[in-house]
Copies of this chain bind each other. A is one copy, B any other.
Amino acid sequence: MAKVTDLVKRVLVGRALRSGQLHEQLLPKRIALPVFASDALSSVAYAPQEILVILSLAGVSFYHYSPWVAMAVVVVMLTVVASYRQNVHAYPSGGGDYEVATVNLGRNAGLTVASALMVDYVLTVAVSVANGVDYVGATIPYVAQHKPTVAIVIVVLLTVVNLRGIRESGVAFAVPTYAFMIAVLGMVGWGAFKYLALGEELRAPTADYEIIAEQTNLTSFAAAFLILRAFSSGCAALTGVEAISNGVPAFRKPKSRNAATTLLMMGLVSVTMFGGIISLGLVSGVKVSEHPAQDVLIDGQLAGPGYYQQPIISQVADAVFGGGSLLFVIISVVTALILFLAANTAFNGFPVLGSILAQDRFLPRQLHTRGDRLAFSNGIGILAAAACLLLWGFQADVSKLLNLYIVGVFVSFTLSQTGMVLHWTRHLKTETDPRVRFQMQRSRVINAFGAVMTGVVLVVVLLTKFMVGAWIVCLAMPVLFLMMKGIRRHYDNVAKELQLDDDYDPAMLPSRTHAIVLVSKVHKPTMRALAYARAARPSVLEAVTVNSEGTNELSAEWDRLGIPVPLKTLDSPYREITQPILDYVKNLRKRSPRDVVAVYIPEYVVGHWWEHLLHNQSALRLKARLLFKPGVMVISVPWQLHSSDRLRGRREPFAPGAVRRAPKP
């Protein structure tokens, strides 16, 4: 039985690892790019499509606005990249937006960013997995028909993998990320060559379809609103851009400079892919709709609920390489892979954020210890549960999930960039070197531009998305914010309560130690507890037992062995064990309040979970009750049963996300 559970645990959660196995290395740029960019790059799998999806609400004719919308997104993207290049130089510690906001705008701004980031991590998982399933569905119809279930299964798999603590390596990130970059850039290049140089026609599988406009005869205001909404959705391309700013310590030296270069490379690749995909999509006549079942017409017929809408990269791949061709399949697969990889980065990022917040006492202290795997397990569980909830609630519909996504991202962008402006202003007050001052002023202008632009986008996102889902995020963020404030207040109150009095005198000691050893039987654990208690030479030492059926034999055995400690029997009219002992201890305390009472409890140490059900229960409960009595200390004297041997050597396995963090200096 125990063997089986142990086996299951090994398979699911992995062999316990020794911490010596943990290597942390600094990353060269060519590895850092894939390690930190999978999240940002993967968003080109859904962002271009979403622009078309929203525009199609007013009919395919609105697609002609899409180049302008895309261009606006590219401008915002380049602005944000430029802004974060300043962050990376100013804050090489890797604290990221939370640190920047806290340092420059105060604790509340920092907590706002933290709430936004937590919500974001959940949505990164939900959106990436849902979209990944779309791409898997492009080649496997069964997956397309069971999207929510498959998505949740994948989240569960990611959870298990992360609880196992995969050995991370740069290669594990590099292979799928570079594969995705090569595949998509190759497809864009070949498609452009075919279309522009060879003059071939590209035809997406949906090129002949029509879309029924849900909104017709729009006023110019409504049309503008719709275009802004499309822009908001397109801004999903920016998610993940900030990742590098959290990872500066993991770069090789010169850290900030290498990080900034990597950020720029990532921005350029991302913009190229984004622009390329949407251009080829338009050229090949891709038609995508928010409600394909009701709005898409195939040969004049409604598509109906059986219709599966292929995602944009698959459609473009179909147009460029032909549907069902090997290259089509490869492109769909690597796109799905990078999306799952992006989801996986949230599994690392979320617990790391939790550990930073716990360090500042906004989350339970136990989440702080970075080497502590359990902290990560909790974080991973919470993240996975929340993502599954969203996936189920929104039936893994990427368009709907995206309505929630971008609020958090832009809250964090805006506050971070505003903080950077204050950062430069503060440093300019003391800096005198004109060259440095010039650089700082330039950085300040870039960050100010970034702050204004991301702020405007945030307002646009809030206006266009609030009713269709963003309200959920607007509700969740304050809840998280208040929870963290509450936890901090609790810790502060406790710290105040625990502070030493001004007249504290370290020479003050309890006058005597009155030790009692709890005895139920004469056996090795009892004798060990007794021996330890005697070795500690307390002022008074007695063995105590509660009167029950075996008490007479116990006394006889006690005398026979000649144990040089008096055995006291407590009466228990109601056959209880706990209460008589508590009462006895209370009386001891009453008689001599300046003494400390030391209660020795023999405890069994067992090796199987089910053995816990069979041992120690009364000891544990008694201990829990004794701790409420002031002036008492409780001493566990363990007896290791043979079965405990199997657990003795185990060490804490290492925590995931290690490759993104530098070792402690």
Contacts and interface: CB of A to CB of B under 8 A. Distances in A.
Interface in A607-665: 611, 613-615, 617-618, 621, 623, 626-630, 632-642, 644, 647-648, 651-652, 654, 663-664
Residue among A614, A644, A663 with max Cβ neighbours from chain B (10 Å): A614
A326 interface: no
Contacts of A523: 495, 498-500
A376 B497 CA distance: 38
Interface in A572-631: 572-579, 596, 598, 600, 603-605, 611, 613-615, 617-618, 621, 623, 626-630
A547 to B, nearest CB: 9
A629 B573 CA distance: 38
Given A374-B621, A536-B538, A623-B636, A576 B652 contact: yes
Range class of the A interface residue count:
35 or more
Tell me what chain A mostly uses at the interface: helix, strand, loop, or mixed: mixed
Contacts of A617: 364-366
Interface stretch (A146-154, A213-221, A444-452, A504-512): A504-512
Interface stretch (A134-142, A271-279, A526-534): A526-534
Contact of A614 (B487, B508, B634): B487
A491 interface: yes
Contacts of A628: 605, 638, 640, 644, 647-648
Contacts of A664: 573-575
B633 A637 contact: yes
A561 interface: yes
A454 B508 CA distance: 75
Contacts of A651: 579
Nearest to A498: B523
A564 interface: yes
A92 interface: no
Contacts of A600: 633
Contact of A574 (B22, B524, B647): B22
A196 B632 CA distance: 78
B574 A603 contact: no
A454 B434 CA distance: 107
A490 interface: yes
Nearest to A535: B510
Contacts of A511: 535
A370 B575 contact: yes
A371 interface: yes
Nearest to A564: B506
Nearest to A523: B498
24 contacts: A19-B576, A19-B579, A366-B618, A369-B575, A370-B574, A371-B572, A372-B578, A372-B618, A490-B614, A497-B524, A498-B639, A499-B524, A500-B561, A506-B562, A506-B563, A508-B531, A509-B534, A536-B598, A574-B663, A628-B638, A629-B648, A630-B638, A634-B636, A634-B638
Q: Which 8 A-B pairs rank lowest in CB-CB distance, beginning with the nearest?
A: A366-B617, A371-B576, A627-B638, A498-B523, A371-B574, A370-B575, A371-B575, A510-B535
Given A371-B579, A633-B637, A635-B635, 8 more contacts: A19-B579, A370-B575, A494-B641, A579-B652, A628-B647, A628-B648, A633-B635, A633-B638
